[in-house]
Amino acid sequence: MGHSHITIHHKAFRPYLSAAELDEAVSSLAARLSADYAGRRPLFVVVLTGGFMFAADLLKKYTGECEIVFIRVASYEGTASSGTVQEILGLREEVQDRDLIIVEDIVDTGTTMHHLLPTLQTKGPASVEIAALFFKPASLQHELTVRYVAREIPNDFVVGYGLDYDGLGRNLPDVYVAV
């Protein structure tokens, strides 16, 4: 790992987690999921774009049978009092009576999941859990249980390993934190 600072869009970042540390955290999480879902066939629902790299590594290490679908979550202002409505793009699979595992790069405020979970629940899944690469408990603004977390982090801005800053940095194998 290059132990030097990097700059993206004139913003400085310092090394935070190496590819090796990420691999260890993801392996550990995959082992937990493999044990908990043994004998079942979960549907991994990967939230793009940020979750792609984490999902690839997690699923290579998942040992059971599973299926994978990629979704995008589009937010738009609804006319009802609910405010923001989340539309799920790409979910064509039948999810009724399935065990769903939402694969997300990061859960910070929890707003996306707060809106996404009820939408998924209306489709009648057997269970829905969240598997996040990163979880920022200090940022959480909604009642939310994130059962599977590779790494809890403080309320820092991170980039790399799928996470971007203004669209850049997703391809970095390590994770950097803003200085």
Instruction: Specify the pLDDT at position 77.
Output: 58
Extents of the domains making up the chain: 19-75+82-152
Q: Give Cβ neighbours of residue 169 (< 8 Å, ≥ 6 apart).
A: 8, 13, 159, 160, 163, 176
pLDDT band at residue 70 using 50, 70 and 90 as cut-offs: very high
Closest CA to 128 of 141, 142, 118, 136: 118
Looking at the domain that runs over 19-75+82-152, which CATH code has it been given? 3.40.50.2020
82-119 pLDDT tens trace: 556 667 888 877 899 999 999 999 998 888 898 889 88
SS3 string, the chain, reads CCCCCEEECCEEEEEEECHHHHHHHHHHHHHHHHHHCCCCCCEEEEECCCCHHHHHHHHHHCCCCCEEEEEEEEEEECCCCCCEEEEEECCCCCCCCCEEEEEEEEECCCHHHHHHHHHHHCCCCCEEEEEEEEECHHHCCCCCCCCEEEEECCCCCEEECCECECCECCCCCCEEEEC
* pLDDT at site 18: 96
Whether the predicted pLDDT of 34 surpasses 90: yes
Catalytic residues: 108
Confidence of residue 81 (pLDDT cuts 50, 70, 90): very low
Least confident of 76-80, 97-101, 126-130, 136-140: 76-80
- Average pLDDT value for residue range 4-13: 92
Q: Across residues 151-171, what is the average pLDDT? A: 94
